[in-house]
Amino acid sequence: MTDHRAPERIVRRFARSSNLMIAGRPFAATGAGADALAELLVGLGGIPSPSPSAGRVEFDLDADRMLLDGKPLPERGDAAGRIAFAREHMPVAAALAQRLDLTGLRVGVAMVLEPKTAVLSLLLRERGAEVSVYAHPDETDVAVADDLRERGFAVTADPALAGAEERAAALGFLRAGLDVLLDDGAHLIRLAHEADPALVGGWIGACEETMSGLTPLRRMQDAGLLRCAVMAVNDARTKTMFDNRYGTGQSCVFAIADLLEERGIALTDQPALVIGYGPVGQGVAAHLRALGAEVRVAETDPVRALEARHDGFRTGRALELAEGALVVSATGAPATVTPEIAAGARVVAVAGGVPGEVVEAGSALLLGGGGAVNITAAEGNPIEIMDLSFSVQLAALGEVLERRPAPGVHALGPEVDDLVARTALAVRGAAVDIRRDLDPEGLDDWRSPRFAGGDA
């Protein structure tokens, strides 16, 4: 193998062409450089599989070829083709949707508009809901928006809007009338409370996808301002552990590597600083390291900083660690990358993110316009990851309809995680171990076995 970066490039091309996950996927690698490719794939969470298994991808470095389930990787084509391909790889959400009867319910979907969101909207409509879709101008795949319009959906999504026009469009979406809102970032929930609280009074509830959305909603609740029930989708383990860590980690790091390569820069040409070591930061750091970057971490939470250090990363203050580095903000908080931090950086990018996470890039190369780089420069999180996240959304929708909770932020029960995870394992052909306790409940004998058999 003459190109030492060939393994990295073919893996990124697979992800870019398919929008599928590496972590958890069976793989086989052949050709010159196969050992290096296998090492990279294992570092990204791939599972070596010498014989055919469901979902296995085969990489042939000599032929520069990829096979999925023994067949050439399909061309997804236009928006309809990308939506169809996404649906084929979202069996968990399809199964969870079957549990719902949404007849006559008005459901608003306010999320990044791309093929996976289109699949969610289709599943909701097929269960009887009247579905309307909203997307922020910078989070709209125009071809997907047009495809949904052709299918009869009311879609409010126009990349040309800004300022007062963007606000008016969002209010128009809300004023059309909703029973339940599925939100991302709580932007629409907050706008409804701010502009016309009467809109919220007619809602059964809402479901919020992100931590950056739940944080302000909890502040509103503490201040007595939250007028609707909100199910905390992000807090479910089957959302945060996978969407934030594996999904955002892969999609953002691969998008960064693609953008850098377009500019003739290798990801390993400079050190990398990850600011924030929550689930997103953990995923970004792990993927950067797997691709060969020398990774540093800056974190204000002492426990998370200690965790980063035990994960093998150099930790310290962002101002010092940013010098000459690729800086990736993974906090989901405004003003994370200050002008002072950016001044020493070579490249700046945002993983996940909220508006204004980068205050000013200065002379550093700013990727993706300072927005979430996996959205502005790629196709969002991988399909199987959003299959899990949207399964949690569907379960949360079922919970809010069944429980009709009072205004406030509400946790999903552990049974939701259990249901989503068991369904996901089943469609992957994997099993869960069975507890073999003689006393399954652990209640029959409270005495310590260390001192069993003795007299008082």
Question: What average pLDDT does range 229-255 have in this prediction?
Answer: 96
pLDDT for 270 equals: 81
Report the range of poorest mean pLDDT among 25-39, 218-232, 411-425, 436-450.
436-450
**Residue 1: band (very low, low, confident or very high) from pLDDT cuts 50, 70, 90:** very low
Q: Strand (E) positions, 213-294?
A: 229-232, 272-275
- pLDDT surpasses 70 at 132: yes
pTM of the predicted model as reported, rounded to 2 decimal places: 0.92
Give the integer Cα–Cα distance in Å for 93 and 205. 20
Question: What average pLDDT does range 242-269 have in this prediction?
Answer: 95
What mean pLDDT is reported for the chain?
94
pLDDT for 355 equals: 84
* Burial class of 331 by CB neighbour count within 10 A (0 to 12, 13 to 18, 19+): buried
Q: What is the pLDDT of residues 399-413, one digit of tens each?
A: 999 999 999 999 999
Report the range of poorest mean pLDDT among 354-368, 417-431, 439-453.
439-453
Which of 130, 152, 150, 20 shows the shortest CA–CA distance to 86?
A: 20
For strands 229-232 and 130-134, give the pairing.
unpaired
**Residue 91: band (very low, low, confident or very high) from pLDDT cuts 50, 70, 90:** very high
Q: Which two tokens stand for residue 99?
A: 């549990």
